[in-house]
């Protein structure tokens, strides 16, 4: 009897810390740049929509964006590669424990491995770039409004809101992508080892479980190459954890060939 493949929470935790470390750095550098325009004489000019201050802000932000873009690209490749590599090793470890008689080697170098790294690099870059664009918009609108309509309290509230959004994105990306990576790499190794079927196991967790996953797919056996519909609205087919925020897992069905 094989055992379910359960994603390693340590991998998820480490990935979340990596993403949060980068996001914290981006927020800190951005707020440091903005603080220059919210102090002393410059602040007075800022709040009256002074053209020279607006120009300084755009120049300062342009330099900041160029600097942060380089950091984000460098760190996103490092963190994404590290997460997928850790997931790859844990996936092999879980499969080796689940299926007796087979040895599952890492999938490093496969198209699926590279695709997972690339997808996560894009996600990390996108969420940090979105934050920077939103903050840039906040500051430009503040200059355009000018005068008594603008206050430091209003700007600080916007900064806090955007920083929280970025923090939550980092958390959600780490949770969702480690599950997806685990499923994708496990699928590669199972297929490569001749395992053609799996059992769908509903996680039992989550405040809003998908009725389809809980009441229809749970406990059923499916072919890896012909997975079930995982979203009735779109007709999308897939494996456990491939739908957004899906916490379901799979159990390999190993049917050794008989002589």
Q: What pLDDT digit, counting tens, does each position of 30-81 carry?
A: 999 888 777 655 666 666 666 676 777 778 888 999 999 999 999 999 999 9
> Does residue 150 contact residue 43 with C-beta atoms inside 8 Å?
no
Six-digit token pair at 23?
């996001």
Nearest to 182 by CA among 81, 63, 50, 94: 94
Q: CA 177 to CA 152: how far, in whole Å?
A: 37
CB neighbour list of residue 25: distance below 8 Å, 6 or more residues apart: 71
Instruction: Quote the pTM value.
Output: 0.88
Six-digit token pair at 248?
């379901």
Q: CA 186 to CA 80: how far, in whole Å?
A: 18
- Residue ranges of the domains in the chain? 9-192, 196-259
Nearest to 48 by CA among 148, 135, 137: 148
Question: Which helix (H) or strand (E) element contains residue 60?
Answer: helix 51-98
- pLDDT value at 242 more than 50: yes
Strand duo 221-223 + 229-231: pairing: unpaired
pLDDT for 38: 73
Six-digit token pair at 243?
């739908």
Q: What is the pLDDT of residues 160-187, one digit of tens each?
A: 999 999 999 999 999 999 999 999 999 9
- pLDDT value at 206 more than 70: no
Six-digit token pair at 83?
């997460």
- pLDDT value at 213 more than 60: yes
Instruction: Tell me how long the chain is.
Output: 259
Nearest to 242 by CA among 154, 183, 174: 183
Q: CA 91 to CA 187: how far, in whole Å?
A: 10
């Amino acid at each position: 009897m094989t055992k379910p493949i359960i994603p390693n929470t340590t991998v998820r935790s480490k990935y979340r810390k990596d993403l949060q470390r980068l996001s914290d750095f981006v927020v800190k550098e951005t707020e440091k740049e903005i603080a220059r325009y919210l102090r002393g004489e410059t602040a007075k000019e800022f709040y009256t929509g002074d053209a020279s201050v607006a120009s300084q802000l755009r120049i300062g932000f342009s330099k900041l964006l160029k600097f942060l873009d380089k950091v984000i690209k460098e760190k996103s490749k490092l963190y994404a590669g590290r997460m997928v590599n850790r997931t790859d090793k844990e996936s092999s470890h879980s499969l080796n424990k689940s299926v007796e008689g087979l040895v599952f080697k890492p999938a490093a170098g496969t198209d699926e491995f590279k695709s997972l790294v690339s997808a996560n690099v894009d996600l990390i870059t996108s969420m940090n770039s979105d934050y920077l664009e939103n903050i840039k918009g906040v500051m430009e609108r503040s200059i355009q409004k000018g005068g008594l309509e603008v206050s430091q309290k209003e700007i600080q509230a916007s900064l806090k809101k955007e920083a929280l959004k970025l923090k939550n994105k980092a958390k959600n990306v780490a949770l969702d992508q480690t599950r997806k990576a685990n499923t994708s790499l496990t699928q590669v190794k199972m297929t490569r080892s001749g395992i053609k079927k799996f059992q769908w196991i509903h996680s039992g967790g989550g405040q809003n479980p998908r009725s389809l996953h809980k009441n229809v797919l749970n406990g059923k056996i499916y072919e890896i190459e012909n997975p079930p519909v995982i979203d009735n609205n779109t007709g999308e087919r897939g494996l456990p954890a491939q739908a957004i925020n899906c916490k379901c897992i799979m159990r390999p069905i190993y049917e050794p060939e008989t002589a």
